[in-house]
Amino acid sequence: MTRPATILLALVVVLGLAAPWLAPNPYDHQFRDMASASPQPGFPMGTDDLGRDRLSRLLYATRVSVLLAPSAATISVLLALLFSALAALPSRLVAWTLSLANGIFLSLPWIFLFIILRSKLSLNTDPLVSVTLTFALMGVAGWAIPGRAFTASIVEMKDAGWLLQARAAGLRPWRIATAHAWPHLWSLALVQFRILIPAYVLSEASLGLLGLGVADPMPSWGNLLRDLQHPDVVQANPWTLAPLALLVLVMICLESLTPSRKAAL
């Protein structure tokens, strides 16, 4: 199952990266006489309500989403690992401070911080800068939940017999961390990474309502998924579901590539 998943995932990434060469039309060109057209030669997936080619938009959206959502998830997971590792240090003050920071990050109304970010950005900010900042902020804001999971796992490890045995054998802390602790955390990190990707894709769609996220006419899976709010559009053209299908496919592939905790150990 791992190989097909890898191939499919690689295919999706290649499709996204090769969008400028594969897309039959510019993603923002409005074929106004073809608005909301059904699939037909020239528009294999039909057009959206402004007459833009759905296939071209999906390819470009894949490029944005497969690059930025995993990047944001990576930021979150790395920050979470870093802070959880610090929390494992003997200092109670550090552990308490990080626990407090975690609690604060979990309880902050992030939506308002995004609104503030938007208000601080110039209205003529390049869409690419805006979307990069948005995903970066999502990545920073999102460390707290995986952070809890990592901290719990690390605390559990501290009392484990194998760790005492490693210490007794005279292994250096760095060696213990890389050779023994990391395999325990790796599968957990992958699971958290996988969970965060769709969360960020969907968050980006919601942030579009605040003028953040990916601004029109640039497509992303998130803003393409907004079409699903209109059942009549989906009924008229089932290709509207393509971004959802692609998102689900990527999630399944990531799931297949995520080793179970037991296997990792």
Partner 1 sequence: MKHILLLLPLVLSAAVPQQLRFAINGDPKMFDVLMVAESNSETIRYLTAGVLLRVNRTTDVPQPELAESFQVKEGGRAITFKLRPNLQFSDGTPLTAADVERTLRRALDPKSGSPTGDTLRAGDTAPEILVANPREITLRYKAPKPGIDRLFDSVGIAPPVQTKLPPSSGAFFVAEYQPGTFVLLRRNSHYFKRDAKGVQLPYLDSIRLDIQANADIALTRYQRGEFHLINKLDADSFDRLQKTQNNSVRSLGPSLDPEFIWFNQAPAKTLPEWKRAWFTSAAFRHAVSSAIRREDMARIVFKGHAHPAVGPISTANRFWVNAALKPPVLDTKGGLAQLAKEGFTLRGNVLRDKGNHAVEFSLITQAGKRPRERMASLVADDLKALGIKVNVVTLDFGSLLDRISKSLDYEAALLGFENVDADPSEEMNVWLSSGAQHAWWPAQKTPATAWEARIDKLELAQAAEGVRANRKNLVDEFQKIVREEEPIIYLLNPDYLVAVSPSLKGVQPVVVPPQILWNAEWLRFE
* Contact string (CB under 8 A) for partner 1, positions 96-135, x = contact: -------------------x--xx---xx--x--------
Collect all residues with Cβ–Cβ distance below 8 Å to 149 and sequence separation of at least 6: 80, 188, 192
Structure tokens at 36: 């909301």
Under 8 Å between Cβ of 150 and 84? yes
Q: Does position 175 bind partner 1 by CB under 8 A?
A: no
CB of 229 to partner 1, least distance (A): 9
For residue 124, the minimal CB distance to partner 1 (Å) is: 5
Name which of 48 and 79 has its Cβ closer to partner 1: 48
Told to check if 169 binds partner 1 by CB under 8 A, we report no
CA dihedral 142, 148, 153, 159 (to 10 degrees): 150
Which of 87/212 has CB closer to partner 1?
Answer: 212
**49 lines the binding site for partner 1 (CB under 8 A):** yes
Cβ proximity to partner 1: between 31 and 186 the closer is: 31
User: Which one, 32 or 172, has the nearer CB to partner 1?
Assistant: 32
Q: How many residues bind partner 1 (CB under 8 A)?
A: 22
51 touches partner 1 by CB under 8 A: yes
Contact in structure between 119 and 203 (CB atoms under 8 Å): no
Question: Which is closer to partner 1, CB of 156 or CB of 216?
Answer: 216
* Nearest distance from C-beta of residue 127 to partner 1, angstroms: 8
Give yes or no for residue 8 binding partner 1 (CB under 8 A): no
Q: Is 215 in the site for partner 1 (CB under 8 A)?
A: yes
Q: Find the largest Cα–Cα distance for the chain.
A: 76
Residue 40 bridge partners (DSSP):
43
Which one, 10 or 35, has the nearer CB to partner 1? 35
In whole angstroms, what is the distance from residue 241 CA to residue 104 CA?
A: 37
Binding site for partner 1 (CB under 8 A): 28, 30, 32, 35, 49-51, 115, 118-119, 123-124, 127, 208-211, 215-217, 230, 232
